[in-house]
């Protein structure tokens, strides 16, 4: 009977469409706010302090940005864990700033006294200083905000003092050569 089969086919098809609609309604809604041409009003908030700089300063939106970032973390972690990670990371930033400033002072002193001359990166000591803030310092700071002790310690806190010793020794040697009129 062609009419009966057609009727069954229509009922089945309608049933499938309605079920698909009902199942789709149950899906959790995900809101995304990507800055794009269609969302020009979305304001981009930097989520971390400026960890890329040699010495990290807090910017004006810092507190608000940190609250926003913590909201991301607390989707998976408990608030105490996230607060602990951030509190420790802030200390790592302070500590790294102090080490970098110490290194800066050594380099500035050498240049000021005319011991270190010439264009940037013309002496081995320039590279030691650069690596100290650009690689070790940044690694410690970024590692801290991800709660990664290995990066903070072995790729940041350990090489920084080691390079400070190297800087002082190289600086003393340069001063010695300078004194001898070289």
Residue of 168, 104, 97 lying closest to 137 (CA atoms): 97
H-assigned helices in the chain: 2-26, 62-73, 79-112, 124-131, 138-145, 149-152, 159-179
* Residue 112, token pair as written in the block: 């000021």
Q: Is 5 exposed, middle or buried (0-12, 13-18, 19+ CB in 10 A)?
A: exposed
CB of 39 to ligand HEC, least distance (A): 22
Residue 83 engages ligand HEC in binding (rule: CB under 6 A): no
Among 73, 90, 130, 178, binds ligand HEC (CB under 6 A): 73
Q: Which of these ranges, 33-41, 69-77, 90-98, 116-124, lies near ligand HEC under the rule CB under 6 A?
A: 69-77
Gap between the Cα atoms of 66 and 73, Å rounded: 11
Residue 85 engages ligand HEC in binding (rule: CB under 6 A): yes
CB of 58 to ligand HEC, least distance (A): 17
Residue 69 engages ligand HEC in binding (rule: CB under 6 A): yes
Contact between 127 and 121 under an 8 Å Cβ cutoff? The reply is: yes
Q: Which of these ranges, 77-85, 114-122, 128-136, 157-165, lies near ligand HEC under the rule CB under 6 A?
A: 77-85
Based on CB atoms, which residue is closest to ligand HEC, 82 or 106? 82
Q: Could you tell me the end-to-end alpha-carbon distance of the chain, in angstroms, rounded to an integer?
A: 109
Contact between 89 and 97 under an 8 Å Cβ cutoff? The reply is: no
Q: How many residues bind ligand HEC (CB under 6 A)?
A: 9
Among 54, 62, 77, 134, binds ligand HEC (CB under 6 A): 77
Q: Which of these ranges, 59-67, 73-81, 103-111, 118-126, lies near ligand HEC under the rule CB under 6 A?
A: 73-81
Binding site for ligand HEC (CB under 6 A): 69, 72-73, 75-77, 82, 85, 147
């Amino acid at each position: 009977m062609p009419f009966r089969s057609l009727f069954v086919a229509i009922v089945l098809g309608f049933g499938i469409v309605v079920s698909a609609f009902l199942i789709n309604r149950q899906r959790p809604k995900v809101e995304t706010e990507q800055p794009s041409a269609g969302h020009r009003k979305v304001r981009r908030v930097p989520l971390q302090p400026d960890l890329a700089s040699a010495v990290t300063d807090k910017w004006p939106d810092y507190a608000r940005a940190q609250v926003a970032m913590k909201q991301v973390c607390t989707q998976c972690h408990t608030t105490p864990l996230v607060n602990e990670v951030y509190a420790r990371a802030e200390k790592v930033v302070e500590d790294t700033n102090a080490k970098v400033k110490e290194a800066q002072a050594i380099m500035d002193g050498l240049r000021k006294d005319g011991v270190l001359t010439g264009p940037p990166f013309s002496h081995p000591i320039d590279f030691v200083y650069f690596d100290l803030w650009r690689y070790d310092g940044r690694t410690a700071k970024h590692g801290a905000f991800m709660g990664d002790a290995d990066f903070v310690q072995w790729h940041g806190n350990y090489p920084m003092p080691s390079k400070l010793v190297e800087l002082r020794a190289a600086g003393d040697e340069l001063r010695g050569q300078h004194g001898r009129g070289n």
